[in-house]
Amino acid sequence: MPDSAHVVSLNVGKAQTVSAGRGQVQTGSFKRPVTGRVSLRGRNLEGDQQADLRVHGGPYKAVYAYPSEHYSFWQNELALPDLTAGAFGENLTTAGLSEETILIGDQFRIGSAILQVSQPRMPCFKLALRFETTDMIKRFWASGRSGFYFSIVQEGELAAGDEMQKIADGPEKVTVADILRLYKGEEWDSRLRQRALDSPLKGSWKQVIRERLTETIVERV
């Protein structure tokens, strides 16, 4: 395998119906590795599907990536030694990237496609459903191992083994981990917060960070 950042496994899966405490639930979180080159068109990888488009998928959650380096942590944490690529519902299981180093707005060429980092992952109840562990959301959130979403800058084809060549830096130098800490209220640096608000961060993350800014101002008055 290459030493540079690369795709370890490319994973896709169609939405399926599973039983849950609230009844039958549609989920697209059960991904499986595929071989060969896969087309990335529109807002999705060929053969992949999200079940609830209100909170999954769309232009700023087109592709979800999860670092392979996190797997050993979860294998121990969950006592699941056979945990394999795609277990967290990720499309790309990666190597050489982490939340502490990847920047909001970073652009990567993967195969013939270009992707841009858009936001961290906010876990939902389907993650707990996937692992059959009621506290999985809490454990995932506390771990800081969120993975990261990409939007599509250029359509193309990609495959397991492809290098993830960084071609542009996030303009505000804000990492995915920075966003998580700001969102949780673990980081209060005003300059970092402003850079996060100026960054191409997508989703509802900026709204919560702004609210925390307001809280800080009120506390100081």
The total number of structural domains that make up the chain: 1
Q: Does the structure show a pLDDT above 50 at 183?
A: yes
Which residue did the predictor score with more confidence, 168 or 134?
168
User: For the segment 85-105, what is each residue's pLDDT rounded down to a tens digit?
Assistant: 999 999 999 999 999 999 999
Q: Does the structure show a pLDDT above 90 at 6?
A: yes
User: For the segment 31-86, what is each residue's pLDDT rounded down to a tens digit?
Assistant: 999 999 999 999 899 999 876 666 677 899 999 999 999 999 999 999 999 999 99
Which residue did the predictor score with more confidence, 214 or 77?
77
Which structural domain, as residue segments, surrounds residue 159? 6-171
> Does residue 188 fall inside a structural domain?
no
Write down the pLDDT at residue 212.
82
Q: How far apart are CA 105 and CA 172, in angstroms?
A: 8
Which bin fits 105, alpha (ψ -120 to 50), beta or left (φ > 0)?
A: left
Find the CATH number of the domain harbouring 148. 2.40.33.20
User: For the segment 11-21, what is each residue's pLDDT rounded down to a tens digit?
Assistant: 999 888 777 66
> In which band, very low, low, confident or very high, does the pLDDT at 156 lie, cut at 50, 70 and 90?
very high
> Does residue 210 fall inside a structural domain?
no
Residues 96, 5: contact at Cβ < 8 Å? yes
**Average of per-residue pLDDT values in the chain:** 91
Write down the pLDDT at residue 218.
47
Model pTM score: 0.92
Q: How far apart are CA 150 and CA 111, in angstroms?
A: 15
> Does residue 191 fall inside a structural domain?
no
Residue 39, both tokens: 């087309």
> Does residue 92 fall inside a structural domain?
yes
Q: State how far Cα 160 lies from the chain centre.
A: 17
Amino acid at 95: A
3-state class (DSSP) for residue 4: coil
What residues are paired with 103 via a beta bridge? 175
The order of strands in the sheet holding 44-45 is 44-45, 38-41, 156-158
